[in-house]
Structure 1
């Protein structure tokens, strides 16, 4: 398998620091949410960044699947990713809920597309067997 693209970002200061991509397109302060004992500052956090990336990647995979199945996916379709962080002994674990909204499709049709996209989305492939990912179409 060949590598088509490599993203690079550097973080300083951990969860209450700063993160920047090597090309400068992503340049964000990081803050610890109050729910994790932080100051709930103005910055984002790793879970929000993961949720944004997963939602975008998953929606891209849905487009690929829809084209393969000769279905037209509305430009108004959305994927919302909810990323949870839980304590598991001394470690932490994550769970993800992906919620799809597909105008023009029934929830059943949307869920079927989501299951197919879940097989090819790079985030889904990377988390399979390690993170509980729930799919839901509304």
Structure 2
């Protein structure tokens, strides 16, 4: 992978993660540095044993961590103190009647140091523009966002 020039921006490579998976949902996954080494198991709700983790859980943790990093960057740029920040992430797996599958995501962002709802919403909205996971999913995956309990964006039930 190389640097990419677009009409508006130039990207610079920062990091590449490497992992190996064998056995799919009932297998094993490991990063090349050994820091992540997991047994994978189909969830009980999908007829599996649920003895390990699953791709949706890993995605939920990864997206939550990445989004919090983007939020921290946005807050620092605006000189806003977030206080203790917590992100509850949910990744839903759906089957589609054409035989395919899709995911939906919800991120509930809590920022203890931000008591202004408008500011909280603006920070989460901007973090959603900065976050690489959000950018990868945009237009492909429904992502619902809340900031300190206030609706920000995404589909509503």
Smaller-chain TM-score bracket:
over 0.9
Q: CA deviation at 1:36?
A: 1.1
Pair 1:82 & 2:90 matched: yes
* 1:18-64 CA distance string (max 9 Å, x none): 000011111010111011111121x1100000000000000000011
SS at match of 2:128: helix
Structure 2 length-normalised TM: 0.83
Please list every run of 5 or more consecutive structure 1 residues that lacks an aligned counterpart in the other structure: none
Distance 2:19 2:126 in 1: 30
> Could you tell me which residue of structure 2 aligns to residue 8 of structure 1?
18
Aligned to 1:95: 104
Displacement, 1:111?
2.0
| 3-state secondary structure, aligned to 1:94 | strand
Which structure's relative contact order is higher, taking Cα pairs within 8 Å and 6+ residues apart? 1
**SS of 1:54's equivalent?**
helix
SS at the partner of 2:70? helix
Aligned residue pair count: 136
Residue 112 (structure 1) shift: 1.7
Distance in 2, matches of 1:81 and 1:109, equals 21
Q: TM-score, normalised by structure 1?
A: 0.94
